[in-house]
């Protein structure tokens, strides 16, 4: 299996979300990329199709296991970034293991961790398509 690139895949998911139903995301409602990124961060954090941080998750347990292959370094980076303490981390691992959704939890953790970077990439791509921010 090839290594799943969370940065690329989450950015692609964001671009698809920005063009959902053929109605392109309107950058002209924002003064600049920073404002658009802040809006998207708030909007997409709990969006299952992007982070899996909503009620349904991003994918099934088996798919998430494949995504995690060769990406455990990202999981550890995310856990350190989000400040998981040893005790709470062990509690989370045990809880999700018992619920048989450990891979989905880990996948969601990584997706949330790469979200800011992926939003930035998606906005740069969108700008490249000619979409513009509102003029000051």
Assigned token pair, 92: 């989370």
Assigned token pair, 43: 């909007």
Residue 123 burial class via C-beta count within 10 angstroms: exposed 0-12, middle 13-18, buried 19 and up: buried
H or E segment and range at residue 110: helix 102-128
Encode the chain (136 residues) as per-residue pLDDT tens digits. Answer: 789 999 999 999 999 999 987 778 889 999 999 999 999 999 999 999 999 988 888 999 999 999 999 999 999 898 888 876 666 777 777 787 788 888 999 999 999 999 999 999 999 999 998 888 987 6
Q: Are 81 and 113 in contact (CB under 8 A)?
A: yes
Q: Are 118 and 10 in contact (CB under 8 A)?
A: yes
Residue 111 burial class via C-beta count within 10 angstroms: exposed 0-12, middle 13-18, buried 19 and up: buried
The secondary structure of 8-74 as a DSSP string is: HHHHHHHHHHHTGGG----GGGSSSHHHHHHHHHHHHTT-TTTTS-SSS-SS-HHHHHHHHTT-HHH
Assigned token pair, 30: 């924002």
């Amino acid at each position: 299996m090839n290594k799943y690139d969370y940065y690329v895949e989450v950015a692609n998911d964001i671009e698809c979300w920005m063009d959902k139903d053929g109605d392109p995301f309107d950058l002209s409602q924002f003064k600049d990329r920073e404002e658009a990124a802040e809006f998207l961060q708030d909007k997409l954090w709990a969006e299952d199709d992007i982070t899996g941080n909503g009620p349904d998750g991003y994918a099934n347990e088996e798919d998430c296991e494949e995504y995690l292959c060769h990406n455990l370094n990202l999981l550890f980076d995310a856990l350190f970034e989000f400040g998981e303490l040893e005790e709470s981390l062990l509690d989370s691992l045990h809880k999700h293991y018992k619920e048989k959704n450990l891979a989905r939890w880990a996948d969601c953790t990584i997706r949330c961790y790469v979200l800011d970077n992926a939003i930035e990439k998606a906005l740069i791509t969108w700008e490249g398509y000619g979409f513009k921010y509102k003029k000051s």
